[in-house]
Amino acid sequence: MLKLANKNASIALQEKFSLIERDEERTINAVENLGKQLGIYTPHRIEAFDNSNIQGSDPVSALVVFIDGKPEKESTENIKSRRSRDLMIMNRCVK
């Protein structure tokens, strides 16, 4: 019984590592393809802004950062504003 449990654990661990390796490969390929599509070197850091509101009120701007295709949660920022002007909110986010 112990041998069977050990064998099952070993198989599960191998499958988990295989899944992690496939995800890593897909991420690397996606970032490389993005660079090719944009006609640039493979990007190391990607920053994206998103402006949102609820029917014109409660405006929010977010800066999302990806490093080597993975989200960098420490660099992500959310800024709420009383004004609904996207450009002003983004300007605050950039600074």
The reported pLDDT for the residue numbered 33 is 94
pLDDT of residue 64: 85
pLDDT at 53: 72
pLDDT of residue 87: 62
Are 91 and 63 in a shared domain? yes
**End-to-end alpha carbon distance in the chain:** 61
The verdict on 19 and 50 lying in the same domain is no
CA distances from 93 to 24, 66, 68 (A): 30, 16, 22
Tell me the mean pLDDT per 10 residues along the chain, length 95.
90 94 93 93 88 72 86 75 61 64
Q: Model pTM?
A: 0.63
pLDDT confidence of residue 27 = 92
Sign of CA dihedral 61, 45, 27, 41: positive
Judgement on whether residues 9 and 32 belong to the same structural domain of the protein: yes
Q: What is the DSSP letter of 44?
A: S
> Which CATH number characterizes residue 71's domain?
3.30.160
